[in-house]
């Protein structure tokens, strides 16, 4: 998580060797002179990252708040100071990562226009491809986040299910916005079905445990999505 | 096997349970776990809730299954196989790719509206349950994707769609089913039939064919909605 790395410094940006569990990203114990609000923000970010990691590890069926606190390296008391329950924590993680995913896509499309000017502005398929590549690159870099955003959440957790619906709507609107800016939508549900299918494909590739398979999906996914709209 | 499960199994053995009925007990528990999970959610479902659906005793349950998870996995394998066979048969016995896909969707929607709790377990709760049921789920998706990929026989080699198209189309249909079931309104799937035909045909043949498939499904749905829907909703689940 980018924000976490900004707070914790460059050492944390170094990747953990494969098969080695990352050490909890804890602040120094005792008196450290770090302002209380920064400590609190740091704890929250660790919990959000741990929620995605615990979900990838345990799945929705076995996910527990205890595992989230363990991975975050905080106490149960600290967990409940931040979140009402497990689902509130997971919802916050979901919304944070969904926001980051959308920002990545928007930034990639904007960067293309900045680099290539009016040509890129007119090249709608090119911009859509840039957005799709950015989304897959983002998800491949963070497999736990890919799992969090692509897996179908328990419908009983209404807020989480609603957050997923919002993400699907938002990604669908972004796709349509690039391809037909300001245009009427002939089939209101089509983008939703395309994005739902894309997320199912991401979930399936993520489950394979090989992030490279997600990156390699870009040409195929772009071709299928663009053929239908 | 847990100590509780072992004790329960021994209890049944000592009672000399009627073996002729054991198949019914197993089948009943498998249906019961799917209905309970579909109604309560996988996390909230207990062995007690399963037995409330299926009848029978804990001892009988543990003679066949090690746990709720084991029962769900076995039930999923059995029911997803039945559903796959039924959908593949609907498509195979209907001439033409487009009509075959439409017929398979009609059969799927009939199942989902007639047995919403079981459908919710098969489509939504399996993703909560995780392994080993999810491995079966992936296999079912691959199998249906291979069948839907028969569209390639009607496409010029120069315009062949990407390899992932079959899995993509099955994923889109599944995601629409999950959406309707999660919203507690499976009957809304019928309204989505033309759009799903647009989505499936468009993924293989492009926009023009997609619009034709949409039109044909819309006309069919308008004209024969009652016949297509076939059965009343939720007619069996207690």
* Burial class of B117 by CB neighbour count within 10 A (0 to 12, 13 to 18, 19+): buried
pLDDT reading at A159 higher than 50: yes
Band the pLDDT of B16: cuts 50, 70, 90: very low
Q: Which of B33, B121, B131 is nearest to B83 (CA)?
A: B121
| Domain termination site, one of A82, A105, A129 | A82
Q: Which of A92, A15, A11 is nearest to A46 (CA)?
A: A92
CATH number of B70-229: 1.10.357
Asked if A114 and A149 sit in the same domain, the reply is yes
Q: Which residues of A touch B198 (CB under 8 A)?
A: 187, 190, 228
pLDDT reading at A6 higher than 70: no
Q: What is the pLDDT of residues A77-124, one digit of tens each?
A: 999 999 999 999 999 999 999 999 999 999 998 888 888 777 766 788
pTM of the predicted protein model: 0.83
Tell me the nearest-neighbour CA distance from A150 into chain B, angstroms: 11
Cβ(A101)–Cβ(A138) under 8 Å? yes
Number of structural domains (chain A) is 2
Band the pLDDT of A26: cuts 50, 70, 90: low
Interface contact A64, partner B, CB < 8 A = no
Residue A197: closest C-alpha in chain B: B172
Interface contact B31, partner A, CB < 8 A = no
In the block, tokens 């931040």 appear at A82
Tell me the nearest-neighbour CA distance from A79 into chain B, angstroms: 22
Are the Cβ atoms of B202 and A152 closer than 8 angstroms? no
pLDDT reading at B88 higher than 90: yes
Asked if A116 and A214 sit in the same domain, the reply is yes
* Burial class of B20 by CB neighbour count within 10 A (0 to 12, 13 to 18, 19+): exposed
Q: Which segment of A173-182, A190-199, B178-187 scores lowest on mean pLDDT? A: A173-182
Q: Within the 37-56 window of chain B, which residues sit less than 8 Å (CB to CB) from chain A? A: 41-44
Distance CA A7, CA A38 (A): 8
Asked if A143 and A41 sit in the same domain, the reply is no
Asked if A90 and A50 sit in the same domain, the reply is no
Q: Which of B214, B179, B212 is nearest to B193 (CA)?
A: B214
Q: Which domain holds residue A205?
A: 86-228
Asked if A219 and A123 sit in the same domain, the reply is yes
* Burial class of A208 by CB neighbour count within 10 A (0 to 12, 13 to 18, 19+): exposed
Burial readout B67-93 (b: 16 or more C-beta within 10 A, e: otherwise): ebbbbbbbbbbbbbeebbeebbebbee
Q: Which residues of A touch B138 (CB under 8 A)?
A: 204, 207
Asked if A99 and A167 sit in the same domain, the reply is yes
Q: Please give the interface size between A and B, counted as residue pairs whose CB atoms are below 8 Å apart.
A: 120
Residues 6+ apart with CB under 8 A from B36: B45, B49, B50, B52, B53
Domain boundaries, chain B: 3-67, 70-229
pLDDT at B172: 95
Task: Report the pLDDT averaged over residues A195-204.
Answer: 92
Asked if A77 and A177 sit in the same domain, the reply is no
Asked if A129 and A203 sit in the same domain, the reply is yes
Q: Distance of CA A157 to CAs A154, B113, B120, Å? A: 6, 23, 15
**Average pLDDT over all residues of chain A:** 83
pLDDT reading at A176 higher than 70: yes
Q: Which of B67, B72, B78, B82 is nearest to B34 (CA)?
A: B72
Asked if A222 and A193 sit in the same domain, the reply is yes
pLDDT reading at A184 higher than 70: no
Task: Report the pLDDT averaged over residues A172-192.
Answer: 76
Q: What is the pLDDT of residues B131-147, one digit of tens each?
A: 899 999 999 999 999 99
Interface contact A154, partner B, CB < 8 A = yes
**Average pLDDT over all residues of chain B:** 87
Tokens of A189: 């549900």
Asked if A178 and A217 sit in the same domain, the reply is yes
| Domain termination site, one of A82, A105, A136 | A82
Asked if A67 and A104 sit in the same domain, the reply is no
Are the Cβ atoms of B134 and A207 closer than 8 angstroms? yes
Q: What is the pLDDT of residues A33-70, one digit of tens each?
A: 777 788 889 999 999 999 999 999 999 999 999 999 99
| Domain termination site, one of A67, A82, A97 | A82
């Amino acid at each position: 998580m980018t924000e976490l790395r900004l707070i914790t410094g460059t050492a944390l940006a170094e990747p953990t060797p494969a098969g080695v569990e990352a050490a909890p990203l804890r602040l120094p114990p005792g008196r450290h002179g770090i302002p209380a609000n920064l400590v609190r923000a740091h704890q929250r970010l660790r919990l959000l990252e741990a929620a995605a990691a615990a979900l990838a590890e345990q799945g929705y069926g076995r996910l527990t708040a205890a595992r989230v606190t363990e991975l975050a390296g905080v106490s149960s008391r600290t967990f409940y100071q931040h979140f009402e329950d497990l689902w509130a924590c997971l919802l916050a993680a979901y919304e944070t990562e969904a926001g980051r995913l959308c920002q990545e896509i928007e930034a990639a499309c904007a960067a293309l226009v900045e680099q290539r000017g009016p040509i890129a502005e007119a090249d709608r398929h090119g911009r859509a491809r840039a957005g799709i590549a950015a989304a897959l690159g983002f998800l491949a870099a963070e497999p736990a986040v890919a799992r969090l955003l692509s897996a179908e959440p328990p419908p009983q957790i209404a807020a989480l299910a609603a957050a997923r619906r919002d993400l699907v709507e938002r990604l669908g609107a972004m796709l349509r916005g690039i391809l037909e800016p300001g245009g009427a939508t002939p089939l209101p549900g089509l983008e939703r079905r395309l994005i739902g299918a894309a997320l199912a494909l991401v979930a399936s590739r993520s489950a394979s445990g090989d992030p490279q398979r997600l990156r390699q999906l870009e040409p195929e996914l772009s071709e299928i999505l663009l053929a239908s709209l | 096997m847990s100590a509780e499960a072992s004790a329960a199994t021994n209890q049944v053995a000592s009672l000399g349970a009627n073996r002729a009925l054991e198949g019914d007990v197993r089948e009943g528990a498998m249906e019961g776990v799917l209905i309970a999970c579909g109604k309560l959610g996988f996390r909230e479902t207990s062995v007690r809730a399963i037995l409330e659906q299926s009848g029978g005793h804990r001892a009988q349950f543990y003679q066949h299954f090690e746990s709720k998870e084991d029962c769900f996995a076995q039930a999923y394998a059995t029911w997803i196989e039945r559903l796959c066979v039924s959908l593949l048969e609907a498509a195979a016995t209907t001439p033409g790719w487009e009509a075959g896909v439409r017929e398979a969707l009609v059969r799927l929607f009939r199942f989902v509206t007639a047995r919403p709790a079981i459908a919710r377990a098969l489509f939504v709760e399996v993703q909560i349950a995780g392994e080993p049921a999810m491995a079966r789920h992936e296999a079912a998706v691959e199998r249906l994707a291979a069948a839907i990929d028969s569209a390639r026989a009607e496409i010029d080699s120069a315009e062949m769609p990407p390899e992932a198209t079959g899995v993509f189309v099955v994923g889109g249909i599944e995601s629409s089913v999950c959406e309707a079931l999660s919203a507690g309104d499976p009957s809304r799937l019928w309204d989505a039939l033309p759009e799903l035909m647009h989505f499936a045909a468009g993924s293989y043949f492009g926009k023009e064919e997609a619009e034709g498939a949409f039109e044909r499904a819309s006309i069919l749905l308008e004209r024969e909605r009652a016949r297509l829907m076939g059965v009343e909703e939720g007619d069996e689940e207690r």
